[in-house]
Amino acid sequence: MFHFDNGLRITNIDLAVDMRRRQPRGFISHAHTDHMARHELAFCTPATAELYQHRYGPRPTKLMPFAEPLVWDDCKLTTHPAGHVFGSAMLAIEGCQSVLYTGDFKLRPSATAEPATPPRADALIMESTYGHPRYRLPPRDESIAQLVALVTRILNDGRTPVVHAYVLGKAQEVTRILTLAGIRVVQHPIVYAVSAVYQRCGCELGIIELCDGPPPSDAAVVAPPRRQKAAALVGLRRPVSIVVTGWAIDPAWRWRLGGDYAIPLSDHADFDELIECIERVEPSVVYCTHGPAEFVDLLRKRGHNAHPLDGCRAGKPLALAKS
Protein backbone atom coordinates (compact mmCIF):
# COMPACT_ATOMS: atom_id res chain seq x y z
CA MET A 1 0.00 0.00 0.00
CA PHE A 2 2.91 2.38 0.68
CA HIS A 3 6.66 2.54 0.25
CA PHE A 4 9.62 4.84 0.87
CA ASP A 5 10.92 6.80 -2.13
CA ASN A 6 13.09 9.47 -0.48
CA GLY A 7 9.79 10.22 1.23
CA LEU A 8 6.48 8.43 1.70
CA ARG A 9 4.44 7.36 -1.32
CA ILE A 10 1.01 5.69 -1.40
CA THR A 11 1.84 3.04 -3.96
CA ASN A 12 -1.40 2.14 -5.72
CA ILE A 13 -2.58 5.74 -6.25
CA ASP A 14 0.93 7.20 -6.67
CA LEU A 15 0.33 9.91 -4.09
CA ALA A 16 3.41 11.51 -2.56
CA VAL A 17 3.10 12.44 1.11
CA ASP A 18 4.94 15.45 2.56
CA MET A 19 7.62 15.30 -0.12
CA ARG A 20 9.86 18.33 -0.60
CA ARG A 21 10.31 17.76 -4.34
CA ARG A 22 7.63 18.64 -6.90
CA GLN A 23 5.19 15.81 -7.64
CA PRO A 24 2.18 15.36 -9.95
CA ARG A 25 0.07 14.74 -6.82
CA GLY A 26 1.21 15.44 -3.29
CA PHE A 27 -0.49 15.35 0.09
CA ILE A 28 0.64 18.17 2.41
CA SER A 29 0.06 17.53 6.11
CA HIS A 30 0.75 21.15 7.07
CA ALA A 31 2.29 24.30 5.64
CA HIS A 32 5.85 24.11 6.96
CA THR A 33 8.30 24.26 4.07
CA ASP A 34 10.06 21.03 5.06
CA HIS A 35 6.82 19.17 4.35
CA MET A 36 5.72 20.60 1.02
CA ALA A 37 6.69 21.54 -2.53
CA ARG A 38 5.10 23.25 -5.51
CA HIS A 39 3.15 20.17 -6.57
CA GLU A 40 1.11 20.06 -9.75
CA LEU A 41 -1.85 19.25 -7.49
CA ALA A 42 -1.69 19.49 -3.70
CA PHE A 43 -4.10 17.63 -1.41
CA CYS A 44 -4.57 19.31 1.98
CA THR A 45 -7.02 20.77 4.46
CA PRO A 46 -8.61 24.14 3.64
CA ALA A 47 -6.49 26.03 6.22
CA THR A 48 -3.30 24.41 4.97
CA ALA A 49 -4.27 25.33 1.40
CA GLU A 50 -4.53 29.00 2.37
CA LEU A 51 -1.16 28.93 4.15
CA TYR A 52 0.45 26.93 1.30
CA GLN A 53 -0.68 29.54 -1.22
CA HIS A 54 0.44 32.36 1.05
CA ARG A 55 3.93 30.90 0.92
CA TYR A 56 4.08 29.68 -2.70
CA GLY A 57 1.50 31.80 -4.49
CA PRO A 58 -1.60 30.51 -6.31
CA ARG A 59 -1.35 26.73 -6.68
CA PRO A 60 -3.90 24.03 -7.67
CA THR A 61 -5.28 22.29 -4.57
CA LYS A 62 -7.73 19.54 -3.74
CA LEU A 63 -9.32 20.36 -0.40
CA MET A 64 -9.68 17.61 2.19
CA PRO A 65 -11.70 18.90 5.16
CA PHE A 66 -11.34 16.93 8.37
CA ALA A 67 -13.39 13.72 8.61
CA GLU A 68 -14.70 13.93 5.03
CA PRO A 69 -13.49 10.77 3.21
CA LEU A 70 -12.10 11.00 -0.30
CA VAL A 71 -12.56 7.79 -2.33
CA TRP A 72 -9.75 7.22 -4.82
CA ASP A 73 -9.70 3.94 -6.76
CA ASP A 74 -9.62 1.23 -4.06
CA CYS A 75 -8.49 3.65 -1.32
CA LYS A 76 -10.37 5.88 1.06
CA LEU A 77 -8.41 8.87 2.35
CA THR A 78 -9.49 10.83 5.42
CA THR A 79 -7.80 13.71 7.24
CA HIS A 80 -7.83 14.00 11.03
CA PRO A 81 -6.50 16.89 13.12
CA ALA A 82 -2.83 16.50 14.08
CA GLY A 83 -2.62 19.19 16.78
CA HIS A 84 0.69 20.51 15.38
CA VAL A 85 -0.25 23.85 13.81
CA PHE A 86 -3.51 25.30 12.54
CA GLY A 87 -4.88 23.07 9.77
CA SER A 88 -2.32 20.28 10.28
CA ALA A 89 -3.62 16.83 9.42
CA MET A 90 -2.98 13.17 9.93
CA LEU A 91 -3.84 11.05 6.88
CA ALA A 92 -5.80 7.81 7.28
CA ILE A 93 -5.67 5.43 4.30
CA GLU A 94 -8.08 2.53 4.09
CA GLY A 95 -7.77 -0.24 1.51
CA CYS A 96 -6.54 -3.80 1.88
CA GLN A 97 -5.25 -2.59 5.26
CA SER A 98 -5.61 0.60 7.25
CA VAL A 99 -2.69 3.00 7.61
CA LEU A 100 -2.32 6.18 9.62
CA TYR A 101 0.34 8.74 8.74
CA THR A 102 0.68 11.25 11.58
CA GLY A 103 2.84 13.92 10.01
CA ASP A 104 4.12 16.28 12.69
CA PHE A 105 1.70 16.09 15.61
CA LYS A 106 1.14 16.58 19.30
CA LEU A 107 -1.58 15.28 21.62
CA ARG A 108 -1.47 17.95 24.30
CA PRO A 109 -3.79 20.99 24.00
CA SER A 110 -3.06 23.99 21.79
CA ALA A 111 -4.29 27.57 21.69
CA THR A 112 -4.35 27.60 17.86
CA ALA A 113 -4.28 24.04 16.45
CA GLU A 114 -7.26 21.72 16.27
CA PRO A 115 -7.04 18.91 18.91
CA ALA A 116 -5.41 15.75 17.58
CA THR A 117 -7.70 12.78 16.99
CA PRO A 118 -5.66 9.78 15.80
CA PRO A 119 -7.91 6.88 14.71
CA ARG A 120 -7.07 3.20 15.05
CA ALA A 121 -5.10 1.63 12.19
CA ASP A 122 -3.25 -1.57 11.26
CA ALA A 123 -0.06 0.32 10.43
CA LEU A 124 1.18 3.55 11.97
CA ILE A 125 3.69 5.82 10.24
CA MET A 126 4.70 8.34 12.88
CA GLU A 127 6.85 11.40 13.22
CA SER A 128 9.19 10.82 16.15
CA THR A 129 11.21 14.01 16.63
CA TYR A 130 11.39 13.60 20.42
CA GLY A 131 11.87 9.84 20.33
CA HIS A 132 14.09 9.59 23.40
CA PRO A 133 13.00 9.39 27.06
CA ARG A 134 15.00 12.53 27.93
CA TYR A 135 12.52 14.53 25.87
CA ARG A 136 9.66 14.69 28.32
CA LEU A 137 8.18 18.18 28.37
CA PRO A 138 6.92 19.80 31.57
CA PRO A 139 3.16 20.32 31.89
CA ARG A 140 1.95 22.85 29.35
CA ASP A 141 0.42 25.09 32.02
CA GLU A 142 3.82 25.41 33.70
CA SER A 143 5.53 26.53 30.49
CA ILE A 144 2.75 29.02 29.75
CA ALA A 145 2.93 30.45 33.27
CA GLN A 146 6.71 30.73 32.96
CA LEU A 147 6.41 32.59 29.63
CA VAL A 148 3.72 35.01 30.83
CA ALA A 149 5.56 35.77 34.07
CA LEU A 150 8.84 36.36 32.25
CA VAL A 151 7.31 38.67 29.63
CA THR A 152 5.46 40.61 32.36
CA ARG A 153 8.62 41.04 34.42
CA ILE A 154 10.62 42.28 31.44
CA LEU A 155 7.92 44.84 30.60
CA ASN A 156 7.79 46.00 34.22
CA ASP A 157 11.56 46.51 34.08
CA GLY A 158 11.07 48.95 31.20
CA ARG A 159 12.61 46.62 28.62
CA THR A 160 11.31 44.99 25.43
CA PRO A 161 10.59 41.25 25.51
CA VAL A 162 11.25 39.74 22.07
CA VAL A 163 9.81 36.25 21.72
CA HIS A 164 11.49 34.34 18.88
CA ALA A 165 9.29 31.66 17.32
CA TYR A 166 8.84 29.96 13.98
CA VAL A 167 6.80 32.30 11.78
CA LEU A 168 4.04 29.78 11.03
CA GLY A 169 2.61 27.94 13.99
CA LYS A 170 4.70 28.70 17.06
CA ALA A 171 4.51 32.48 16.57
CA GLN A 172 0.70 32.38 16.44
CA GLU A 173 0.56 29.98 19.40
CA VAL A 174 2.73 32.30 21.50
CA THR A 175 0.71 35.31 20.38
CA ARG A 176 -2.57 33.73 21.47
CA ILE A 177 -1.08 32.71 24.82
CA LEU A 178 0.06 36.27 25.46
CA THR A 179 -3.14 37.99 24.29
CA LEU A 180 -5.23 35.64 26.45
CA ALA A 181 -3.06 36.77 29.39
CA GLY A 182 -3.89 40.40 28.60
CA ILE A 183 -0.45 41.25 27.20
CA ARG A 184 -0.21 43.63 24.25
CA VAL A 185 1.47 41.97 21.25
CA VAL A 186 3.12 43.42 18.16
CA GLN A 187 4.46 41.18 15.43
CA HIS A 188 7.34 41.30 12.98
CA PRO A 189 5.93 41.90 9.45
CA ILE A 190 6.53 38.35 8.18
CA VAL A 191 4.85 36.91 11.30
CA TYR A 192 1.98 39.39 10.97
CA ALA A 193 1.35 38.30 7.36
CA VAL A 194 0.94 34.65 8.41
CA SER A 195 -1.24 35.66 11.34
CA ALA A 196 -3.55 37.49 8.92
CA VAL A 197 -4.11 34.16 7.09
CA TYR A 198 -4.81 32.40 10.40
CA GLN A 199 -7.45 34.95 11.35
CA ARG A 200 -8.98 35.01 7.88
CA CYS A 201 -9.42 31.23 8.19
CA GLY A 202 -11.13 31.56 11.57
CA CYS A 203 -8.29 31.02 14.03
CA GLU A 204 -8.65 33.76 16.64
CA LEU A 205 -5.40 35.27 17.93
CA GLY A 206 -6.72 38.26 19.86
CA ILE A 207 -5.74 41.86 19.13
CA ILE A 208 -2.39 42.00 17.36
CA GLU A 209 -0.48 44.88 15.81
CA LEU A 210 2.11 45.21 13.09
CA CYS A 211 5.56 46.18 14.32
CA ASP A 212 6.65 48.55 11.55
CA GLY A 213 8.63 50.93 13.75
CA PRO A 214 9.71 51.24 17.38
CA PRO A 215 7.34 49.01 19.40
CA PRO A 216 5.12 50.49 22.13
CA SER A 217 6.68 50.47 25.58
CA ASP A 218 3.93 48.19 26.94
CA ALA A 219 4.08 45.53 24.20
CA ALA A 220 5.81 42.21 23.70
CA VAL A 221 7.31 41.59 20.27
CA VAL A 222 6.85 38.26 18.47
CA ALA A 223 9.60 37.80 15.90
CA PRO A 224 11.15 35.04 13.72
CA PRO A 225 13.89 32.79 15.06
CA ARG A 226 17.22 34.56 15.43
CA ARG A 227 18.83 32.31 12.82
CA GLN A 228 16.23 33.25 10.18
CA LYS A 229 17.12 36.05 7.80
CA ALA A 230 14.50 38.74 8.31
CA ALA A 231 14.40 42.52 8.41
CA ALA A 232 15.78 43.84 11.71
CA LEU A 233 13.36 45.50 14.10
CA VAL A 234 14.17 49.05 15.21
CA GLY A 235 13.64 50.98 18.39
CA LEU A 236 13.80 48.05 20.80
CA ARG A 237 14.39 49.23 24.36
CA ARG A 238 17.14 47.10 25.90
CA PRO A 239 15.62 43.97 24.32
CA VAL A 240 15.49 40.64 26.14
CA SER A 241 15.26 37.64 23.81
CA ILE A 242 13.12 34.61 24.64
CA VAL A 243 13.31 31.41 22.59
CA VAL A 244 10.28 29.13 22.71
CA THR A 245 11.01 25.51 21.76
CA GLY A 246 10.81 21.98 23.08
CA TRP A 247 14.59 21.69 22.72
CA ALA A 248 14.88 24.01 25.73
CA ILE A 249 14.49 20.97 28.03
CA ASP A 250 17.84 19.62 26.80
CA PRO A 251 20.86 21.37 28.42
CA ALA A 252 22.97 20.38 25.41
CA TRP A 253 20.77 22.54 23.19
CA ARG A 254 20.61 25.69 25.31
CA TRP A 255 23.85 27.18 24.00
CA ARG A 256 22.65 26.65 20.41
CA LEU A 257 19.39 28.53 20.92
CA GLY A 258 21.06 31.90 21.39
CA GLY A 259 18.42 33.63 23.52
CA ASP A 260 18.59 35.19 26.96
CA TYR A 261 15.88 32.76 28.07
CA ALA A 262 14.46 29.50 26.66
CA ILE A 263 10.96 28.23 27.40
CA PRO A 264 10.16 24.51 26.79
CA LEU A 265 6.96 24.80 24.76
CA SER A 266 6.68 22.60 21.67
CA ASP A 267 4.28 21.89 18.83
CA HIS A 268 5.65 18.33 18.52
CA ALA A 269 4.72 15.28 20.59
CA ASP A 270 7.19 14.58 23.38
CA PHE A 271 8.34 11.05 24.21
CA ASP A 272 5.32 10.19 26.36
CA GLU A 273 2.92 11.48 23.69
CA LEU A 274 4.61 9.31 21.06
CA ILE A 275 3.98 6.26 23.23
CA GLU A 276 0.42 7.41 23.93
CA CYS A 277 -0.24 7.77 20.21
CA ILE A 278 0.81 4.16 19.61
CA GLU A 279 -1.45 3.03 22.44
CA ARG A 280 -4.41 4.92 20.98
CA VAL A 281 -3.90 3.73 17.40
CA GLU A 282 -3.18 0.08 18.41
CA PRO A 283 -1.24 -0.77 15.24
CA SER A 284 0.32 -4.14 14.45
CA VAL A 285 3.35 -2.36 12.99
CA VAL A 286 4.96 1.05 13.53
CA TYR A 287 7.17 2.87 11.03
CA CYS A 288 9.19 5.77 12.44
CA THR A 289 10.45 8.86 10.63
CA HIS A 290 12.00 12.25 11.44
CA GLY A 291 13.45 11.10 14.74
CA PRO A 292 16.40 9.37 16.39
CA ALA A 293 17.28 5.89 15.11
CA GLU A 294 17.29 4.49 18.65
CA PHE A 295 13.54 5.15 18.98
CA VAL A 296 12.89 2.03 16.90
CA ASP A 297 14.99 -0.02 19.32
CA LEU A 298 13.17 1.49 22.30
CA LEU A 299 9.82 0.52 20.78
CA ARG A 300 10.99 -3.02 20.08
CA LYS A 301 12.07 -3.40 23.70
CA ARG A 302 8.54 -2.38 24.67
CA GLY A 303 7.13 -5.16 22.48
CA HIS A 304 6.19 -3.20 19.38
CA ASN A 305 6.83 -4.36 15.81
CA ALA A 306 8.78 -1.20 14.89
CA HIS A 307 10.84 -0.28 11.83
CA PRO A 308 12.44 2.83 10.31
CA LEU A 309 10.33 4.15 7.44
CA ASP A 310 13.31 4.42 5.10
CA GLY A 311 13.60 0.62 5.23
CA CYS A 312 10.20 0.28 3.59
CA ARG A 313 11.26 0.29 -0.06
CA ALA A 314 9.13 -0.43 -3.12
CA GLY A 315 8.60 -4.15 -3.59
CA LYS A 316 9.51 -4.99 -0.03
CA PRO A 317 6.69 -6.73 1.88
CA LEU A 318 5.20 -4.81 4.79
CA ALA A 319 5.79 -6.17 8.27
CA LEU A 320 2.20 -6.39 9.51
CA ALA A 321 2.37 -9.33 11.87
CA LYS A 322 3.42 -8.98 15.49
CA SER A 323 7.09 -9.85 15.97
Written as one string, the DSSP assignment of 215-235 is PPTTEEEEE--TTS--PPP--
Sheet holding 2-4, edge to edge: 2-4, 8-10, 15-17, 26-27, 42-44, 61-63
- In this prediction, residue 319 carries a pLDDT of 45
pLDDT in tens, 46-104: 999 999 999 999 999 999 999 999 999 999 999 999 999 999 999 999 998 999 999 99
Residue type (1 letter), 119: P
Q: Residue 190 and residue 60: Cα distance in Å, rounded?
A: 24
Q: Residue 13 in contact with residue 2, Cβ under 8 Å? A: no
Select from 267, 260, 217, 273 the least CA-distant residue to 35. 267
Q: What is the end-to-end Cα distance of the chain in Å, rounded?
A: 20
pLDDT tens digits along 101-116: 999 999 999 999 999 9
CA–CA separation, 102 and 137 (whole Å): 20
Res 316: pLDDT = 56
The alpha-carbon radius of gyration of the chain (Å, integer) is: 20
From first to last of its 323 residues, what are the pLDDT tens digits of the chain?
888 888 899 999 999 999 999 999 999 999 999 999 999 999 999 999 999 999 999 999 999 999 999 999 999 999 999 999 999 999 999 998 999 999 999 999 999 999 999 999 999 999 999 999 999 999 999 999 999 999 999 999 999 999 999 999 999 999 999 999 999 999 999 999 999 999 999 999 999 999 999 999 999 999 999 878 777 888 899 999 999 999 999 877 766 777 899 999 999 999 999 999 999 999 999 999 999 999 999 999 999 999 999 877 654 544 443 33
Which ranges of the chain does DSSP label H, i.e. alpha helix? 46-56, 140-156, 170-180, 189-200, 251-257, 271-281, 294-301
**pLDDT at position 254:** 64
- Any idea what DSSP says for residue 64? -
Q: What is the pLDDT of residue 51?
A: 98
Q: Identify the structural domains of the chain with CATH numbers, from first to last.
A: 2-134+268-311 (3.60.15.10), 140-263 (3.40.50.10890)
Its pTM stands at 0.94
Residue-level pLDDT at 1 = 83
